[in-house]
Chains A and B, each alone.
Chain A
Amino acid sequence: MKLRNVLGVAIAAALLSSTAMTYAADVPADAKLAAEQVFKYRVLDNIRALDPQLVEDVDTAYVTNQLFEGLYNAGPDGEPVPGVAESYTANDDFTVFTFKLRDAKWSNGDPVTAQDFVFGWQRAVDPALASTYAYFVGLVNIANADDIVAGKKPLTDLGVKAIDDKTLEVTLRASTPWFPRTLAHGTLFPVNQKVVTEKGADWTKPENIVGNGAYVLAENSPGERVVLKRNPNYWNNDKTVIEEVQFLTINDENQGLTRWRAGEVDQTDVPAGQYPALEAEMPDQVYSVPQFCTYYLSVNMTDSAPDALKDKGVRQALNLAIDRDIIVNAVLQGGQQPAYSFTNPNTAGFTMPTIAAAGMTQEERDAKAKELFAAAGYGPDKPLTLDYIYNTSEAHKAIIVAVSQMWKEKLGVNINMSDMEFAVLSDRRHTQDYELARNAWCGDYNEASTFVSLYDSKSEQNDSGWSNPEVDKLLADAKLAADPGPMYEQIEQIAAEEVPIMPIYFYAKVFLQKPTVKGWPYDNVEQTWYAKDMYITAE
């Protein structure tokens, strides 16, 4: 196997050259720091186990990102910057990576060794731990991961080994130039073997937990707050400015805004639809930055779908009749981008495909939609009724209320909406027990395959149940291609024609932040932030 990804090489080269640079709070000489360095961040009520190998949601990951540190961190623009690793070397075809570790310590004073990484990664795939993110290790191509998860091979076969205390060697099953981009993910964090083994399931409790991040856990009351304090044993502790990080649970976003105004939190989300008003009121404290996610409607493409949806013309008509500009500009109003294809435009090295529908005006789309719909045999005398399922939320409701009215007014389609808990929605999507369903996808790593691979007929995440041999072949080819760009473009074109999903918009993270908070990674589309890189200025 030869070099396959020109882009990957460039990244790897950039990484190698930047190994000397580490990243920490960058306080300008003239900045006046606040006396109290406390950062209060609002989260939903979903801080789960603070065990990096068990983390499955973003909010909990924000906490573990402060408590633990992987080989590489995400830099302010999302590019990897060294964490515990000082540098790495890779073989020619990017199947073996060797990492050189720095002298870092655990919060109890133990040195962080390569063995701690081996232990953590093996733990992630250990059937006995049963992590829901066990598959991630296979996703990033670490050798034998999937077989270990399936119980077919012992843990020790995992493609990671400690050459000595400070050298870690990773073997991959396929060429993966972007492998260093995945290392900021919690699943690949180290854990302290002694503590985990001794304390068992209780090891993440505040009195037991030992981490290697810039902060240690001081209090954990899920549903109320999680409090972190500075870790004096962190290797770059001298550069840490913020003393305390508080994650405050506020379930309701409007309540979050009230408490933000009262000064109880430093950062909270902008409630849906409130961005323009808040932006006009306090332009220096409201932010809208691109986020690495796509919102879309899944269409059931299997035999269980109603006949109407098996008709390509109907799917195209429905897709065209959605006025994305109204959704983005009138419903959400938070700087989201209308979407006509799936892959997020912020994906590194990805060129947006030229989708025909994206170039039309809405009048043209509507005219085409009506034409296709009539051609499919539907109309006033043969109205169509479809079911739509979504998880209970004001924002999702607002979107489908608007979309269903567009369909009704333009095509005469009736939509039966049902809302349900997220657990039920995801189960029904995974089993194609629906007609149309709300859906969204956030990239796991910054490369287009994190999106387009969902079109793979064998993908676990292919909620549409869409099976297209041509797409499957293109996906397989893309893995071997030097430049997979044209293949991704072709896949997006086929999808735009077949409409297994109806993309609606590309996310924006819309939030309020006190002007005294500095060092937030606004340019990182994955929104991975580290309190150690931030500081609070005086008013």
Chain B
Amino acid sequence: MIAFILKRLAVAIPTLLVLIILSFILMKVAPGSPFSGEKAIPETVMKNILARYGLDKPQWQQLLEYIYNIIFRFDFGPSFVYRDRTVNDIIAQGFPVTVKYGFFAFIFATVIGVAMGIFAAIRHNSWGDYLAVGFTVGAQVVPNFVLAPILVLVFTLWLRWLPGGGWNDGQWNYVVLPVIALATSYVANIARIMRSSMLEVLHSNFIRTARAKGMPGWQVIVKHALKPAMLPVVSYLGPVFVGMITGSVVIDLFFSTGGIGQWFVNSALGRDYSTILGITILLGALTIAANLVVDILYAWIDPKIRY
């Protein structure tokens, strides 16, 4: 197990390097620069700006210095667009926001999704099942950029229950709509997966045996069926995690939370090189970590898997 983790970590480092180099090249190839604006900047001023950020050095030197600063000083450099901030400042501001509602969305999606899936499987072919299936299919096909404005119209404008955007230091009522908008499609996916795998498990011999022994229904579910039925769900959690990072782009843009997704898109569109690189690397590292955790979780649930 430990050897397995070490092996995966050994892969992580080249992965991150590939990621840094790839993003760096993509960014430098992209037309436009962080200093392009409505007003053309006179050459003399431009020269000063480039010199200030070290952008007048050869590209390979910039890349090496960048990597060196990340590894040895954990410094992603200054933002070219937000000139009183470093990329570390930006991440420190935006990341906790995304983590907070992302965490709640993750828990929400998993708990509700699993519960709904179990429910639908137990009441197979009942109205409850059809309702749950109907919801999962519906929720899966409505993009969150359609869902979010509908939520705001309903909960903000008509019912006046919740604010339609902003963050306000993560006060609970500001978190609710982002969580729902982000989690809904994953609730649906998890419920679908849970339902079909639970159905499969319920039809297997060992469950029939347990039932035959006279074990009460819910005990069978909790003690015997839940763990094997969770396997496909667990393997889905890694992708859910990645999907939530991607989904946060829409949520951040729409709800103006100041989260990391908004920063990514805006710095990509505004060519804020260092910010894009910083965020990409951070999220890449997280993805790697999340996949690793999922693998470990999987191994823990299913002892048959050996590494």
Which residues of A does B touch, CB under 8 Å? 45, 48-51, 54, 56, 127-132, 134-135, 146, 149-151, 201-205, 221-225, 248-252, 254-255, 258-259, 261-262, 264, 421-424, 426-428, 430, 440, 460-461, 463
By size class, the interface of chain B is 35 or more
Q: Once bound together, how far apart are the Cα atoms of A149 and B256, in whole Å?
A: 37
Main DSSP-derived SS at the B contact region: loop
Tell me, rounded to whole Å, the shortest Cβ–Cβ distance linking B262 to chain A: 5
Partner of B82, one of A48, A129, A151, A259: A48
Residue B303 lies at the interface, judged by CB distance under 8 Å to chain A? no
A51 CB contacts on chain B under 8 angstroms? 83-84
Bound form: Cα–Cα A261–B152 in Å: 12
CB-CB under 8 A for A249 and B164, given A424-B36, A426-B37: no
B48 touches A258 (CB 8 A): no
Nearest first, the 7 closest Cβ-Cβ pairs linking A and B are A224-B258, A423-B32, A223-B258, A49-B84, A423-B36, A130-B48, A424-B32
Complex contacts, A440 vs chain B, CB 8 Å: 38
Do the beta carbons of B157 and A423 come within 8 Å of each other? no
Minimum CB distance partner of B44 in chain A: A150
B residues at A contact (CB < 8 Å): 31-42, 44-45, 48-49, 51-52, 78, 81-85, 93-94, 97, 149, 152-153, 156-157, 160, 163-168, 252-254, 256-259, 262-263, 266, 269-271
Inter-subunit contact A224/B257 (CB<8 Å): yes
In the complex, number of A-B residue pairs with CB atoms less than 8 Å apart: 163
Distance in angstroms from B78 CB to nearest chain A CB is 7
Q: How far is the CA of A45 from the CA of B254 in the complex (A)?
A: 11
Given contacts A130-B51, A149-B45, A255-B164, contact A423 B258 (CB under 8 A): no
In the complex, residue of chain B having the shortest beta-carbon distance to the beta carbon of A252: B254
Contact of A423 among B40, B44, B269 (CB under 8 A): B269
User: A151-B44, A262-B160, A426-B36 known; A45 and B262 CB under 8 Å?
Assistant: yes
Contacts of B165 in A (CB 8 A): 250, 255, 259, 264
Q: Is the CB of A222 within 8 A of B40?
A: no
**Are the C-beta atoms of A223 and B84 separated by less than 8 Å?**
no
- From A249, which residue of chain B is reached at the shortest CB distance? B256
CB nearest to A254 among chain B residues: B149
Which residues of B are found within 8 Å of A424, using beta-carbon distances? 31-32, 36
Give chain A residues whose Cβ lies under 8 Å from the Cβ of B35: 132
Q: Are B254 and A56 in contact (CB under 8 A)?
A: no
**Contact in complex: A264, B41 (CB < 8 Å):** no
Residue contact A430 to B40, C-beta cutoff 8 Å: yes
The answer to whether A258 touches B152, judged by C-beta atoms less than 8 angstroms apart, is yes
Kindly list chain B residues whose C-beta atoms are within 8 Å of the C-beta of A251.
Answer: 253-254, 256, 262
Residues of B near A127 (CB, < 8 A) are 48, 51
- Chain A residues in 8 Å Cβ range of B45: 130-132, 134-135, 149
Partner of B44, one of A149, A422, A426: A149
* Complex contact A130–B153 (CB within 8 A): no
- Taking each of B94, B152, B165, B166, which has the highest tally of chain A beta carbons within 10 Å of its own beta carbon? B165
CA gap between A531 and B268 in the complex, in Å: 33
CB-CB under 8 A from B271, the residues of chain A are 421, 423
Decide: B42 and A149 in contact? CB cutoff 8 A: yes
